Structure 1
Amino acid sequence: MACPENMFFLIVLFISGVLACFGRRDLNATMPDGLDVLTGSCVQIPCSFDIPDQHKDTFNSTILPSGVWIKESPYFGERPDSVIFNSSETVNRYQGKITGNMSQKNCTTVFFNVTTSYSDKYYLRIENRPFLATDTEKSVHIDVSDLPSSPIITVSGEVKDGNPVSLNCSAVAPCPEHPPELTWTLPTQFTSKNQLQENSDQTKSVLSTVTFTPSYLHHEKNITCTAVYPVGTSNKRAEHNMMLNVSFSPKDTSASISPAHPVLVGSCVNLTCSSTANPPVTNFTWFQISGGETTQVASGQSYTLNVTGDGGLYYCEARNSHGCGKSNEVQLAIKGQKEPMVFGVAAGTLGAILLISLISLFVWRRNSRLHDGLERTDSPQGQNSPVGTVCTNQATAREEPEEPAEDQPEEIQYGDIDFSKLQTKETPAAAQDRVQGQESEYAEVNVTGRGAQLPPLNNLDGLYAQVNKTGGC
């Protein structure tokens, strides 16, 4: 025969089952749906409960109720080993304790040294005689693993070039006594702040917030948040990688022309505009600079034109929702238009240099001849020389004399002879000596003029012949 106590317990279970079938709960427990736990660490189950109105008269609030945790199934009648923890017992299958104030209906519980065998569903039971009830509708699932779950990165607001932004990294802290430590890896300088916070389901997590100013160069760069969990004397790590999506106006905008070398009039050339932007460029516009004026000539990333005689400079603009970027200027060179001008300038320069060289050579030769002639005409013949200065023709001073035509009489040119020093009265012997002295002096005169001859003088036929032989052209 069953004990009265056991009979009472079976009746309570039966009544609880019947009420549950009709949607009525004897106990309302509040706890998270699931918890991720590390092997060897602890797990804290946030918990609270409430007594339905129909059972409040049987719940004695002056007596501290006991909290019971049942594994796998709320119905433990046939499996009493399913009860793994009872706060009223000193020895339990699971090492743990209720940290909440049960008199205030706080049933928060901590289990220590968790192993993989702890992975299962758990139900709460409250015992406060004569009140005994289990919430069969609510359970918490504990998942135990050797590796921690990855942290979660979230972004507050748009990540835009040049605008400060905040990134949040959150990692669960199933064992609040040993929370994880969060660290960041970013492609730029930053400041971070960590704090332990309570979630909406009363679980705990560590939140790390980092603030930095992104650049368009950081677009599609990886950032990493790493969580380090202390477990015993070692650490376990988990990380989350995320690629930055930075919004920016068009950058590195450039224009190119193909073919790049001078082209013939009437041929086709293709201009292409390239740019980097996020979101992508929505509009490309082409402009021509000619005669100091800028004109919009086309739209589109590529622009094909038939070459006329205009040529000129071209550039493009790329635009998206964040702004625009201007490219470099490219020259459209036309064959046969620029080259003659360049050739003419080069030929004119060469001709000017050649002309200057010829003039310089002519002046140098003229000065040299003049200087040579002056040296010959200005050379002293003696202070007492009666012979006057003989003028020379610089242009023909060194040229070979032309033979006079046979049918033309030879032109006679006379030099100047100074006889002022001769005395009027002299003896025949002195006169003879004087004439011989003049012959020797005239023999030294170099007459360079064409056909230059001394006039025939009385008794000076020998002197005339001597002068004509020495200085003839």
Structure 2
Amino acid sequence: MSVTAAASGFVVLLLTVTVVQCENGWDVSYTSTEICAVRGSTVDITCTYTYPSTFNNHDTTVQETFWFIKESNGIHVDLRTDPEYSGRVENLCGNNKCTLRISNLRESDSAVYKFRFTTNQTTGSLTGSAGVTLSVTDLHVQVRESVKYDYSIWAELRCQSSCRLPDHLNYVWYKNQQKMKEGASYTGYFYSEDRVSCAVKGLEDFRSASMLVRSQIDWGVSYTSTEICAFRGSTVDINCTYTYPSRWNHLDTTVQETFWFIKVREQIYDDLRTDPEYSGRVENLCGNNKCTLRISNLRESDSAVYKFRFTTNQPRGSFFGSAGVTLNVTDPQLQVHVRRSTANPSSTWTELTCHSRCQLPDHLSYVWYNNNKPVGRKKYFHLRHFNPEDSYHCAIEGQERFPSPTLYYPSDAPKPPSVSVSPSGEIREGSSVNLTCSSDANPAAKYTWYKRSGDKQVQRLSEETQFVLSSIRSSDSGEYYCTAENELGRSSANILITVTCE
């Protein structure tokens, strides 16, 4: 086990397994295949690479070395050119060893990182195929042991994460926002309103969520998410965790029943598994104080608030999470976003990304179409050249009947927008006036309305295509203008409004 942990904020766990891809002397091996790191810290991902000094009677020279996580259509996107990593990545390379350093880690940095080098040889490009899986995690407080008294709780707390961090890390503990102590655990007495959080020493700005100690050992139901958006026809998982005291009134507690419901009739909770509207479409997947409701073949009528309930052998041993989980079932409503990088002249690319109003479940993928023909299955689609005759759109696998709008060659910034006022003609004080801004832009433009006062001061009004003055006054007279902007440019147009008094 090899661990990097320095005062500069490195907090990682490295599983040291050498992975070799070797063919005629071409070789990439990673120091680690799995790394766990805390949000906000800095991580080093390291590899070594080898190549024959001569090949086909020519001396070999390395031309380019870089790390990437995105690859499609034969393009490997150098992380140094990706705007999401701007100012946060370094390549530290020398003597056939290359380290990727990522600072100020975000949970969105969790990915598989791969190294690639190219040479002057015709076959001299190689990628370490396995890569390194980086998991960026947040912390949470876990109750290891507890004893409940009339007015307090004695408990031993541990600072945990979703992946295993190094055992030697030191933690800082806070109670009610006040620093209490340092150490791997926190043992003491806690009262009903005490909130506890923890952080890795050196990363105190990235604390865990504050937790009521009593809530983890008393009767309770907590939901992983309180709002879920899912697609019609897909499958969704709704998760919860439930807790109860192991003993109550001098009796051992046993769970007798667990179920999910949306309907309550005269204190009767209807188990979804008995509801004809969900027949054959629901499962309860429960164990270790966790329970998942899985609903398949979703319908828009499934949009509702779902709650979990469990019962025990204790007199007051029935409990449900009062907040519940709000499920919204909708069509995907996809859009294609365009992003270009020119940070490295030798590595320019256009990235098309498929976006939905709902977060895509892990088991689904996007399908890309070029001129209405399927060309790939991934979230990102990279192009070396976007030809004027080409068009692109995307859909979710299994939801092809709901494609995104077609994206055509994005060669120009938005054209100057047209602005209109409704109703047209004379505007009288007290009336309702609707200003509309529109532009021919692809990708779609974002609109912003402004008002310019007589003293030339500019007031920002709205970020919508329409701006409504519901009861206009004479003081609202003046020059209004809107801007249309996408990643390719910006344009604007104005209109003069004069309000007539009664």
**TM norm structure 1:** 0.32
Structure with larger Rg: 1
**Could you say which structure has the higher strand fraction?**
2
**TM norm structure 2:** 0.30
**Could you say which structure has the higher helix fraction?**
1
